[in-house]
Amino acid sequence: MYTVPHTSYSGATTSYGVTVTTLDAVTGKVIDIHQHDAFITSPDNLRVVGSHSSAPLAIWLDKDKLKANVLGSRAVSTLETDIPDSPSFSFSVLAPHSSTSLPHFLVSFIDAGSSWANVYHINLSAGSISRAYALPKTPKGTYSLAQVDANIFFAKVTLEFGREEADFEVWGSTSHARLNRWTVPFPISQYGLAGIVCSFFLLHTRFL
């Protein structure tokens, strides 16, 4: 069974909705179409993550609230967080890609000069999503996720101009205790901050 969320343009207004379509993987026939009650100003405000995991997610920014739907269910949860009123604000989501992983995910936020993140746990039986802990607000950094067996780890690498070193911090998804922190010499004046150079450039590795 495939479940395909997509934004749908809702006629006269300049907003978009979220429609989840469920397809039969063998025949390609549509099994179900469900339209969520959503108000999205731009398709960029929808994230779909966690394919192959026990809880694939659609997460969208609905006015000043962050809403989430576990694909396959009809329930829409509001994620507990503060959304600043800033034009440079954006969010992204990191979730595991394995069905054996814990159903935990991280939402990171960026505004003009800083970044912060929340870790959420999904209760699969109850279908609810709760905030487990928050990672501190710091100068702009980049977040990443690693899955080890069922466990999930999150890391943040912070690069700052005027400092020739990088902060590299690691947390586990289950508790807010920071597992490790390294301060690594890094010539930022030579390479710049963490950033994506072109939109089609995806860093995807498989460590051996």
Point out which residues pair with 108 in neighbouring strands: 92, 117
Buried b (16+ CB within 10 A) or exposed e, 87-115: eeeebbbbbbeeeebbbbbbbbbbbeeeb
User: Least CB distance from residue 144 to another protein, whole Å?
Assistant: 4
> Which SS3 state, helix, strand or coil, does residue 191 take?
helix
User: Least CB distance from residue 170 to another protein, whole Å?
Assistant: 5
Q: Which of residues 141-200 bind another protein (CB under 8 A)?
A: 142-146, 148, 151, 153-155, 157, 159, 166, 168, 170, 172, 179-180, 182, 184-186, 189-199
Determine if 133 is a binding residue for another protein (CB under 8 A): no
Give the up-direction half-sphere exposure of residue 69: CA atoms within 13 A in the CB hemisphere: 25
Determine if 113 is a binding residue for another protein (CB under 8 A): no
> Which SS3 state, helix, strand or coil, does residue 44 take?
helix
How far apart, in whole angstroms, are the C-alpha atoms of residue 130 and residue 114?
Answer: 24
Determine if 88 is a binding residue for another protein (CB under 8 A): no
Interface residue list for another protein (CB under 8 A): 92, 94, 142-146, 148, 151, 153-155, 157, 159, 166, 168, 170, 172, 179-180, 182, 184-186, 189-199, 201-205, 207
